[in-house]
Amino acid sequence: MGAIEGILTGFEVALSLEGILFVLLGVFVGTFIGMLPGLGPISAIAIMIPITYGMNPTLALVMMAGVYYGAVFGGSTSSILLNAPGISGTVASSFDGYPMAQNGQAGKALAIAAIASFIGGTISVILLMAFAPMLSSVAISFGPPAYFALMLLGLTAIASLSEGSTIKALISAVIGFIVATIGIDPQTGTARYTFGSTNLLDGIDFLIIALGLFAIAEVGYLIINRFKKSATDGKQLGSLKLSKQDMKEIAGPSGRQSILGFVLGILPGAGATIASFISYISEKRIAKKPEQFGKGAVKGLAAPEASNNAATSGSFVPLLSLGIPGSGTTAVMLGAFLVLGVQPGPMLMGDNPEIFWGIIASMYIGNIFLLILNLPLIPYIARVLTVPRPLLISLVIVFSLIGVYAISFSTFDLYLLLAFGVIGFLMRMFAFPAPPFILAFILGGMMEQSFRQAMTSSNGDISIFFTNNISLVLIILSVLSFAFPIIKSVREKKKTA
């Protein structure tokens, strides 16, 4: 079956009454579960698997795909409104989304997120359709040295994520990396910094750090400002009005970052998190007014949102064309395929074209549904911020605590959450930026493993990072990316002096 014939078959499946209903159901359920504390796409898909038993595999998988990108979008809501990112892919969305919501533009922020996600989702589906088979071979050519270099490139964002002192940003990042070293070392089985506690053997979950440093730390400042009235009324807060200038500012970053997000999404292990961070940074680098980033810039929100949604589609490339899951979420998705008796991989396109192309075609429709469903709901969702502060504070604390409890079922993790909340509060008080901490925490563990795998395969010869073309290019880019903002700020300081 040729590609065009395949696409037509796909649309036949996706546009059938049943197809439309299941996509709609998937997107709705995914968005709802994604908004709940602690539940991201992994939980959303896992929860939905039992429901698909006995269903037509094509329709079941079309629905699952809807659940996946619905949950990614749903996760952005708590990130923007409460500074409480439920999944790592939406951390970067809070950098500008939360300040925007605090400035009385919550509706606008959510609308930007919805539109940018739509653009990201749509562009990436077109790319998925055109390049899926070809790109999967690129993904498997990424060995440990290239992964290490890619993580390094992601880490260089630290220099750009610091508003004030670069030393403080670097300290924040090193401590984030140090926290990532806690737990059992997967290569040697050595327990590192667990102090004999079995609770720390698996390391510290991302959600504890994210909710602690962002949501709980924010609670501290909400308590201080608990009697301050919100500057805007509910109606204005939920307003979706976007000016022509706003649309212009959404279009550019969304277009560019969708492509970048898609490419990074294909790489196993990289996914939406790295994509959203790198997109945020690259957009800040090329922005005419980079100083607006972190204070509610439209571009700063559109870029990571488009990118993380595009990465979601990208992660389907290795899954559909090779049968290899590149992330935790696609691993659960693979489980869903197998439960339904479908083996994804090179044979899928030939053996079950209706499934392969049906999923891809359903993504077009799913993205449209996501937009249609969410835009009218935004004014109501944004009103969360009109809740009186004392009540909102209590709800945010419960939201964060239950979010952590629902994934670990351990009160030890709740104490850890409070501890990281205190750390996050102190970091803000003394002007240590939290984004480098979380970035280093997320990338640090993966980076260490890739580095050690590469060194093991080269028998300790460090030149492996420079003889591999992909890693060499990425290392050069990393050096440039790290040095450029520092040189720029030193020059600017000299000029002003």
Partner 1 sequence: MLQGVNRKIGLILFLLSAGYLFMSYQLPTYPYIPVDADAIPKTLGWILVVLSIALFFTKDSDTEEQKAKRHIPKKDVKAIVGVFVLALIFISLLEIVGFVIMTALFIFTCSKFLGYKSNLVNAIVSICFPLFLYSIFVFLLNINLPQGVLPL
Nearer to partner 1, 188 or 245 (CB): 188
Residues 102/87, Cβ–Cβ less than 8 Å? no
Residues that bind partner 1 (CB under 8 A): 33, 36, 39, 43, 47, 164-165, 167-168, 170-171, 174-175, 177-178, 181, 185, 187-188, 190, 192-193, 219-220, 223-224, 226-227, 388-391, 393-395, 397-398, 401-402, 405-406, 409, 411, 414-415, 418, 422, 428-431, 448, 451-452, 455-456, 458-460
C-alpha distances in angstroms, 450 versus 171, 179, 297, 455?
23, 18, 34, 8
Residues 65/26, Cβ–Cβ less than 8 Å? yes
| Helix-helix angle 41-48:17-35, to 10 degrees | 130
Tokens of 137: 């071979």
Q: Residue 39 CB, nearest distance to partner 1 (Å)? A: 8
Nearer to partner 1, 53 or 409 (CB): 409
Nearer to partner 1, 141 or 394 (CB): 394
Q: Residue 203 CB, nearest distance to partner 1 (Å)? A: 13
Nearer to partner 1, 20 or 414 (CB): 414
Tokens of 353: 């074209």
Residues 51/100, Cβ–Cβ less than 8 Å? no
Which value, in Å, is the radius of gyration of the alpha carbons in the chain? Answer: 22
Q: Residue 148 CB, nearest distance to partner 1 (Å)? A: 11
Nearer to partner 1, 92 or 207 (CB): 207
Q: Helix, strand, coil shares of the chain as percentages rounded to 5?
A: 80, 0, 20
**Residues in contact with 412: Cβ distance below 8 Å, sequence separation at least 6, in sequence order:** 197, 199
Q: Residue 413 CB, nearest distance to partner 1 (Å)? A: 10
Q: Residue 298 CB, nearest distance to partner 1 (Å)? A: 23
C-alpha distances in angstroms, 105 versus 216, 227, 365, 377?
22, 20, 28, 15
Residues 96/253, Cβ–Cβ less than 8 Å? no
Nearer to partner 1, 7 or 414 (CB): 414
Q: Residue 407 CB, nearest distance to partner 1 (Å)? A: 9
Sign of the C-alpha dihedral computed for residues 259, 264, 267 and 272 taken in this order = negative
Q: Which residues pair with 72 in a beta bridge?
A: none
Q: Residue 415 CB, nearest distance to partner 1 (Å)? A: 6
Nearer to partner 1, 10 or 436 (CB): 436
Nearer to partner 1, 285 or 389 (CB): 389
Q: What single string gives the DSSP state of each residue in 446-458?
A: HHHHHHHHHHHHT
- Which of 28, 148, 186 has its CA nearest to residue 472? 148
Q: Residue 438 CB, nearest distance to partner 1 (Å)? A: 16
Question: CB-side exposure of 252: number of CA atoms within 13 Å?
Answer: 15
Residues 324/268, Cβ–Cβ less than 8 Å? yes
Nearer to partner 1, 140 or 431 (CB): 431
Nearer to partner 1, 452 or 488 (CB): 452
The bridge status of strand 183-184 relative to strand 191-192 is: antiparallel
Q: Residue 424 CB, nearest distance to partner 1 (Å)? A: 13
Nearer to partner 1, 15 or 46 (CB): 46
Q: Residue 469 CB, nearest distance to partner 1 (Å)? A: 22
- For residue 25, the one-letter residue type is L
Tokens of 257: 């970052």
H helical segments located in 141-243: 144-155, 158-161, 166-180, 206-210, 217-224, 234-237
Q: Residue 54 CB, nearest distance to partner 1 (Å)? A: 18
